[in-house]
């Protein structure tokens, strides 16, 4: 053992944080206000426009007409169902993959990350043409009927969700000591199914919900793929609405925005709840 | 050698071309507490993981109660393991964590509840059964991890640096508790640590490891006082290693910087050759004593450590470290003082081949 004669380190000093100069603070506020305006002005304008359906008064008439439209609810419902199925499909593919990569194949992580990012690289219009080309002839003729096209659409949505889902799940797995938890459970006699269901999934709750809600937010208003696959979902419905009506598209945009923000708010709330527990 | 409750015969582990553990042979008796001690990367945790079933050995055999478990899955071995990071399931309460092993074994609910209570009593945490891991301190979490590992009535308990993440005071308390529980349950235990004090204080036997090899196996007293290699001597405890010249091998006479010293240990080197004379700091004292070796030198530093005062004395180009037991009337030497250091010939042992 070597005996060090070096002086003992001094106790860590508390970080000294000086208040920023007045000019800096003003600059920060200015940037904040500009960014806020950049986001809020179009939103406020859209909302204001959506209230002007009746001449001379501000009312929710556009919203009433929107919800009264017989095509709205089926399109909305279909989008929700598609989103839910896409979420489950994505979870089924991503969770075991991310778990196994974390546990046994960490060297494969860059490859899986790259694959999960492909939907960002390939534009939706390219993706949909590739899908149509691949699945519109035997032996994989899946675009012949509305139902089979919907299967392709949902699979495409699952693929679109990979970047968000993989990142959420991967972050969740990194936040816990997956290897030790798995080994502890194994040592206590648990098999793989028990480990996944009783140990891994419950501790990934927030990550899974984050990934799921982000997927939901993307899928609910998706236009390009749904349009080319001739699906009657919310995206094409909104596009048609924009062409045919004046105030209802604004009302629809506000509703879609509210749904997305509700999803985001739910992620934030659940994350905060989790941190608090 | 055979007949140990846990036996490792010629166990070897390679990662790629790197040998992590080389020909490991050990017999652990039932109820024995054995520690693997060594620096980081010496293969102690890899060996433990092979016993647990998390790493398959490249060659060799592992037997548990006479049964070959070399390639058995971890969940087929009935071994309890405690991890450095506690590895408590964050989504489960203390009670559910402790009962998890029994639940996956399909034991009835009342049996699980009773065993959980028993285990929590053992670690004196009955009142915290409903708490979640994040509501516990590090020491409490590790006690729960211990209770969880013991709840399944394992044949062997494995502990992988369980106290490393805890502060010094809790570490000392918890290691006594681990030993108390181990003695109470008479459970065969293998403990991995890089902390020599921990290993010396808790173990029946210690396996000192270096670079994947077993350097020495023995009781703590034996390891500390009769190290078989320079590595063990220097790794376990503090050691002075003085480069001396052999004057008279038969008489154990050595020369250090022109001063003569005698050793009772056999000197295998020939006269004129260089050897290392080993001395524990606590066997040295200030002042001349009849029949003892005397070395004169200059005090280089004085460090007050509470229970002991550590003084470094320069003897020519060599530095000798001396530990004096602290007492109120102790007169501390000053840096620059000339001092005589004494030690009996039996305190000095010699290692050749340097």
Give me the pLDDT at residue A274, please: 53
List pLDDT tens digits, range A81-110: 999 999 999 998 999 899 999 988 989 999
Q: Which among A181, A183, A189 has CB closest to B101? A: A189
Give the model confidence (pLDDT) of A127-158 as tens digits.
888 888 888 888 778 777 888 888 889 999 99
3-state secondary structure A145-204: CHHHHHHHHHHHHHHHHHHHHHHHHHHHHHHCCHHHHHHHHHHCCCCHHHHHHHHHHHHC
**B177-209 pLDDT per residue, tens:** 999 999 999 999 999 999 999 999 999 999 999
| Confidence (pTM) | 0.77
What residues of chain B score a pLDDT lower than 50?
1-2
Q: What's the pLDDT at A263? A: 76
The ipTM estimated for the assembled molecules is 0.82
Which of B75, B85, B91 lies at the smallest CB-CB distance from A191? B75
Tell me if B242 sits within 8 A of B256, measured CB to CB. yes
The alpha carbon of A12 is separated from its chain's Cα centroid by a whole number of angstroms, namely 41
The distance of Cα B94 from the centroid of its chain, to the nearest Å, equals 30
Give the neighbor-by-neighbor strand order of the sheet with B259-262: B259-262, B253-256, B240-248, B274-279, B349-351
Domain range list for chain A: 62-276
* Residues in chain A within 8 Å Cβ distance of B300: 5
Tokens 């369980």 belong to: B162
Residue pLDDT, tens place only, B204-224: 999 999 999 999 999 999 999
Test the B interface: residue of A182, A189, A203, A204 with most B CBs within 10 Å: A189
Work out the minimum CA distance from A189 to partner chain B, whole angstroms.
Answer: 4
B131 and B94 Cβ atoms separated by less than 8 Å? yes
Mean pLDDT, all residues of chain A? 84
Chain B 205-234, CB below 8 Å of chain A: which residues?
234
DSSP state letter for A70: T
Out of B75, B78, B152, whose CB is closest to A186? B75
- pLDDT on residue A19: 59
Instruction: Tell if the CB–CB gap between A188 and B79 is shorter than 8 Å.
Output: no
- Please give the residue of chain B at the shortest CA–CA distance from A182: B87
Q: Do A199 and B52 touch (CB under 8 A)?
A: no
Structure tokens at B6: 């846990």
Beta bridge partners of A75: none
Q: B74 and A183: CB-CB below 8 Å?
A: yes
More confident residue, B154 or A19: B154
C-alpha distance from B317 to closest chain A C-alpha (Å): 16
Given this model, what pLDDT does residue B233 score?
A: 87
Res. A6: pLDDT tops 50: no
Q: Parallel, antiparallel, or unpaired: how do β-strands B253-256 and B59-64 relate?
A: unpaired
As a whole number of angstroms, the distance between CA B3 and CA A263 comes to 63
- Asked whether residue A230 carries a pLDDT value surpassing 70, the answer given is yes
Residue B213: CB atoms within 10 Å: 16
Asked whether the beta carbons of B321 and B238 are under 8 A apart, the reply is yes
Closest-CA distance, B250 to chain A, in angstroms, reads: 30
Q: Check residues A19 and B46 and name the one with the higher pLDDT.
A: B46
Tokens of A241: 């609405």
CB spacing of A189 vs B238 below 8 angstroms? no
In CATH, A62-276 is 1.10.3720.10: yes
**pLDDT at B343 (0 to 100):** 94
Considering only alpha carbons, which residue of chain B is nearest residue A205? B91
Between A and B, how many CB-CB pairs are < 8 A?
A: 84
Cα(B206)–Cα(B202) distance, integer angstroms: 9
Among residues A212, A232, A202, A250, the alpha carbon closest in space to that of A44 is found at A250
Interface of B with A in 124-143 (CB under 8 A): 132, 134
The 3-state secondary structure of B33-44, one letter per residue = EEEEECCCCCCH
Closest partner CB to B52 (pick from A3, A187, A198): A187
Tell whether B278 lies on the interface with A, counting CB pairs under 8 A: no
How far apart are the CA of B9 and the nearest CA of chain A, in angstroms? 22
- Is the Cβ of A71 closer than 8 Å to some Cβ of chain B? no
């Amino acid at each position: 053992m070597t005996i060090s004669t070096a002086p003992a380190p001094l106790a860590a000093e508390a970080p000294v944080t000086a208040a920023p100069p007045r000019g800096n603070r003003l600059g920060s506020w200015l940037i904040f206000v500009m960014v806020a305006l950049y986001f809020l002005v179009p939103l406020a304008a859209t909302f204001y426009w959506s209230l002007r359906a009746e001449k001379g008064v501000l009312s929710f008439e556009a919203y009433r007409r929107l919800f009264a439209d017989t095509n709205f609810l089926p399109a909305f419902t279909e989008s929700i169902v598609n989103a839910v199925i896409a979420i489950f499909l994505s979870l089924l593919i991503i969770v075991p993959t991310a778990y196994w990569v974390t546990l046994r194949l960490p060297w494969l992580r860059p490859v899986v990350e790259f694959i999960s990012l492909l939907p960002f690289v390939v534009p939706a219009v390219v993706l949909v043409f590739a899908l149509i080309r691949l699945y519109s002839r035997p032996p994989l003729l899946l675009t012949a009927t509305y139902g089979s096209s919907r299967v392709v659409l949902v699979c495409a949505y699952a693929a679109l969700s990979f970047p968000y889902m993989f990142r959420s799940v991967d972050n969740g797995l990194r936040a816990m000591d997956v290897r030790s938890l798995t080994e502890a459970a194994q040592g206590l006699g648990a098999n793989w199914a028990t480990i996944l269901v009783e140990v891994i999934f419950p501790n990934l709750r927030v990550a899974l919900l984050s990934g799921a809600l982000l997927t939901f937010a993307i899928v609910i208003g998706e236009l390009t793929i749904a349009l080319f696959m001739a699906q009657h979902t919310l995206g094409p419905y909104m596009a048609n609405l924009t062409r045919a009506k004046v105030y209802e598209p604004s009302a629809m945009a506000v509703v879609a925005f509210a749904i997305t923000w509700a999803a985001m708010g739910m992620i934030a709330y659940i994350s905060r709840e989790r941190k608090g527990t | 050698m055979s007949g140990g409750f846990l036996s490792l015969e010629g166990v070897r582990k390679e990662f790629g071309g790197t040998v992590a553990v080389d020909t490991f042979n050990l017999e652990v008796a039932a109820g024995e507490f054995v520690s693997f001690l060594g620096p980081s990367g010496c293969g102690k945790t890899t060996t433990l993981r092979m016993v647990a079933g998390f790493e398959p050995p490249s060659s060799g055999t592992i037997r548990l109660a006479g049964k070959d478990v070399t390639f058995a899955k971890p969940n087929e071995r009935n071994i309890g393991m405690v991890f450095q990071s506690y590895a408590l399931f964050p989504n489960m309460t203390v009670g559910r964590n402790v009962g998890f092993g029994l639940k996956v074994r399909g034991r009835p609910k009342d049996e699980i509840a009773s065993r959980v209570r028993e285990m929590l009593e053992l670690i004196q945490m009955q009142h915290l059964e409903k708490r979640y891991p994040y509501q516990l301190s590090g020491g409490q979490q590790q006690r729960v991890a211990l209770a969880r590992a013991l709840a399944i009535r394992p044949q062997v308990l494995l502990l992988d640096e369980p106290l490393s993440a805890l502060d010094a005071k809790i570490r000392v308390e918890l290691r006594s508790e681990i030993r108390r529980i181990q003695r109470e349950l008479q459970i065969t235990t293998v403990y991995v640590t890089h902390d020599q004090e921990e290993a010396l204080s808790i173990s029946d036997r210690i396996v000192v490891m270096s670079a994947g090899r077993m350097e020495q196996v023995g009781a703590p007293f034996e390891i500390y006082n009769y190290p078989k290699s320079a590595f063990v001597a220097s790794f376990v405890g503090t050691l002075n290693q003085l480069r001396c010249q052999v004057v008279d091998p038969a008489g154990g006479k050595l020369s250090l910087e022109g001063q003569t010293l005698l050793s009772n240990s056999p000197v295998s080197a020939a006269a004129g050759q260089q050897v290392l004379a080993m001395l524990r700091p606590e066997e040295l004292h200030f002042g001349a004593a009849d029949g003892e070796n005397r070395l004169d030198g200059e005090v280089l530093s004085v460090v007050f450590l509470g229970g002991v005062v550590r003084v470094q004395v320069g003897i020519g180009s060599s530095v000798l470290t001396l530990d004096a037991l602290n007492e109120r009337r102790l007169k501390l030497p000053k840096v620059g003082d000339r001092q005589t250091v004494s030690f009996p010939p039996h305190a000095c042992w010699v290692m050749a081949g340097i």
